[in-house]
Amino acid sequence: MAIIKPFQAIRPTTDKVAHVVSRSYQNYSRRELNAVLSYNPFSFLHIINPGYKYHKNVKGQERFQLVHNRYLEFLEDNVLTKDPQDSFYLYQVESAHFNCSGLFCAASVNDYRTNVIKKHETTLQRRESLFAKYLETVKFNAEPVLMTYEDNEEIARILAKERGRPPAYYFTTTDKVTHRLWTLSDKKTITSLQSAFANIDSLYIADGHHRSASSNLLAENSERHNPSHTGNEPYNFFMGYLIPDSQIRIFEFNRMVKGLNGLSKEEFLIKLDALYRIENQGDILYKPTKKHHFSMYLDGEFYSLYLRKKVYQFTDALSKLDTQILYKTVLEPILGIHDLRKDKRIQYGHGKHNAIKMKDAIDRGRFTVGFGLVPVSIQEIKAIADAGLVMPPKSTYIEPKLRSGLAIYEL
321 and 403 both lie in a single domain: no
274 and 205 both lie in a single domain: no
Q: Residue 106 domain-assigned?
A: yes
Q: Residue 363 domain-assigned?
A: yes
CB distance 379 to 278 below 8 Å: no
338 and 404 both lie in a single domain: no
The pLDDT of residue 125? 86
64 and 32 both lie in a single domain: yes
CB distance 352 to 251 below 8 Å: no
The pLDDT of residue 199? 94
232 and 272 both lie in a single domain: no
Q: Residue 386 domain-assigned?
A: no
285 and 195 both lie in a single domain: no
285 and 405 both lie in a single domain: no
Q: pTM value?
A: 0.92
Q: Residue 292 domain-assigned?
A: yes
CB distance 235 to 218 below 8 Å: yes
Q: Residue 388 domain-assigned?
A: no
The pLDDT of residue 288? 94
Tell me how many domains the chain contains: 2
87 and 48 both lie in a single domain: yes
147 and 76 both lie in a single domain: yes
What residues make up the domain containing 26?
4-248+399-410
261 and 244 both lie in a single domain: no
CB distance 237 to 109 below 8 Å: yes
The pLDDT of residue 350? 84
Task: For the chain of 411 residues, list the mean pLDDT of each consecutive stretch of 10.
Answer: 95 97 86 92 95 88 95 97 97 91 97 95 88 95 96 96 96 93 97 96 95 95 93 95 96 94 96 96 92 96 94 93 96 95 91 85 96 95 94 90 94 95
Tell me the C-alpha to C-alpha distance, in Å, between residue 372 and each of 9, 184, 323, 356, 393: 42, 43, 10, 11, 15
Q: For residue 319, what are the contacts with CB-CB under 8 A and spacing of at least 6?
A: 313, 325, 328
Burial class for 68, CB neighbours closer than 10 Å (0-12, 13-18, 19+): middle
196 and 333 both lie in a single domain: no
266 and 117 both lie in a single domain: no
Q: Residue 185 domain-assigned?
A: yes
The pLDDT of residue 202? 96
* Nearest Cα to Cα of residue 125 among 16, 222, 216: 216
Q: Residue 384 domain-assigned?
A: no
Q: Residue 387 domain-assigned?
A: no
What is the C-alpha separation between 147 and 307, in angstroms, rounded? 32
Helix H, strand E, coil C: the string for the chain is CCCEECECCEEECCCCHHHHCECCHHHCCHHHHHHHHHHCCCCCHHHHCHHHHHCCCCCHHHHHHHHHHHHHHHHHCCCEEECCCCEEEEEEEECCCCEEEEEEEEEEHHHHHCCCEECCCCCCHHHHHHHHHHHHHHCEECCCEEEEECCCHHHHHHHHHHCCCCCCEEEECCCCCEEEEEEECCHHHHHHHHHHHHCCCCEEEEECHHHHHHHHHHHHHHHHCCCCCCCCCHHHEEEEEEEEHHHCEEECCEEEECCCCCCCHHHHHHHHHCCEEEEEEECCCCCCCCCCEEEEEECCEEEEEEECHHHCCCCCCHHHCHHHHHHHHHHCCCCCCCCCCCCCCEEEECCCCHHHHHHHHHHCCCCCEEEECCCCCHHHHHHHHHCCCCCCCCCCEEECCCCECCCEEEC
Tell me the C-alpha to C-alpha distance, in Å, between residue 391 and each of 6, 122, 301, 318: 32, 8, 30, 7
- Phi and psi for 207 in degrees, rounded to 5? -150, 125
